[in-house]
Structure 1
Amino acid sequence: MGRPGARLTDPMSGRLPETPAVLAIRRAVRVWWAERDETLPPVVALSGGPDSVALLAAAVAEAGTTEAIVVDHGLQEGSREVALAAARIADVLGARATVVTVDVAGSGGLEAAARRARYEALDARRAGRAVLLGHTLDDQAETVLLGFGRGSGPGSVSGMRPWEAPWGRPLLGVRRADTHVMCADLGVEPWHDPHNRDRRFTRVRLRHEILPALEDALGGGVAEALARTAIRIDEDERMLDAMAAEQLRMIADQPAADLPIERLEPIPPPLRRRILRRWLLDRGTSSFTDRQLRAIDDLIGRWRGQGAVAVAGGGPRARLVVTRRHGRLIVEPADR
């Protein structure tokens, strides 16, 4: 494979060819952008791969002046050259490019650390603008499958949202194959990340082994079905979260106050646990499992005089407990 590069069909005018793939991706960006109330032009996270290149070309055509930010993770030999080649593609497509080098470190494995470093770099340089990400329908299907594997509730299978400020994903209804075709239609030779073929990574195995096996076993249409599932679950999640927030406002005497048990008892447990989740986050807890949340709910619905439930606090050494006392649910430091 040669170096990434680009040539437009009409480089003097900058006009994009009107092929089916180009028109489909431009329409996805146009519809997404029209639904946003953004006054500043967007930033596109550009890796140099087919998805982000196609997104950048469409964003320039539909949203006007666009900046591309290329993050060099430094994880592979020649990563600097790949980043500079992506910047040259941006220049040909009519966008100003900035290359940012980051250090990848921290817990959670290589994938998580690289993602964390990338998002931090993008957030630091977006200057109040929306950041467009090149996630496609195929990425959404993989995300839903990963959520099913974790088994951590409907929130984990609701997938990625088209808009989670400041992150925008206009291509969640577009197949990955279309971005490849659009790059070919533009005369762009994108970069193909070798990590996307490395089967040590869970997502790569899903992409190349599990999803094709499901498509074969179920007669096709699996990726689209998983993406539709994500949309429906996300709609339900938003509605239930809004209901929980409203219930919490009605129950609590003041924001982040202790909760009166008598007001919580009549509420159905699934909705009550959502209320408790919001309340715990408001009270400064940093993380808790479904098992811990259910144990806290048992202090209300299955009260037998049991002791407090420990949860993580807001700092590395902080430890909080949730307990029932004098008819109220209380969060307090463990040593108290």
Structure 2
Amino acid sequence: MIIGVPKEVKNRENRVAVVPGGVKMFTAAGHEVLIQQGAGLGAGITDEEYKLAGAKILPTAGDVWGQAEMIMKVKEPIAEEFPLMREGQILYTYLHLAAAQDLGHELVKRKVSAIAYETIQLPNGALPLLTPMSEVAGRMSVQVGAQCLQKHRGGKGLLLGGVPGVRRGRVTIIGGGVVGINAAKMAIGLGARVTMLDVNAARLAYLDDVFGTDIDTLMSNPENISKSVEESDLVVGAVLIAGAKAPCLVNREMIATMERNSAVVDVAIDQGGCIETIKPTTHDDPVFVEEDVIHYGVTNIPGDVPRTSTYALTNVTHKYAMDLANKGLEKALALDPALKLGLNTFQGIATYRAVAEALGLDYQDINF
């Protein structure tokens, strides 16, 4: 199979979908790997390293898209890439189609077989290709939130950890999954007072066992969310429903009760966000103020630490890519139920129920 890796074009997206070690494994199995010139530079990987691993370097994205049977990316294609997609091509990347509806309709129209990293799901419910980036985004959410609270960035001028004789910052994390746990680790490490909310009682018991008295746990309901948000210096949205639009759990009225120049970081923004007042932003212009509260809505948070993120991501994506290359799309999907759940569109059909509902399209299960 011919595997193509174009350079990412989303704002300050410096990750790359394949590292030289992955190229070696592909070529050893008899596949051809095409890398766009400069695709790895943001992650500290040179064209020469790719060449030494056995890849062919092509000058433009059009060259890569035009020749590859399977395109591997990190982030979803944006409008300028839509014309490069073609019928029958496999696209393997993060898609988040519930929040990227124009792309979803383009994939259906162009009959692209699109496999989303974020919906590949193991029998136990785990999302193996989402987990490492959720770990990164969760940790960074508190890091960037702490920066938002600094006075020169428009914040209230508060140190999350406080100092002796001065209260510590209060952080509320909505969602106790991978993002929430990693946000909690960072917030606790900085010395903040941390409250975590989740709808699952068993999950709350687990969080209580893991973190003990370092956090307060609350059942996620409108009353508890409202009170926690009002008392917070930093709110982190960490809610996920696989493949679906994130539920709005924090409304405008709640945000308006926060102290002036507090901060909000919504990691769920790439699935539409769980905070009513959030909107997508970029690394170049990451924040805006709404209801006198600083909002951080960057949709590709891990892209700002590309060296860490690239290797963490490719550690888990390569296995499925190799299966697709070795077995072909249909056989690979037929043999692996987890991978099949990653299929969002196929030959003009929406094949993932939550995505079909979000796009207003008919859902159809495909049996191979």
Normalising by structure 2, what TM-score? 0.28
Structure with greater strand percent = 2
* Structure number with larger C-alpha Rg: 1
Higher relative contact order (CA 8 A, sep 6+): 2
Normalising by structure 1, what TM-score? 0.30
Structure with greater helix percent = 1
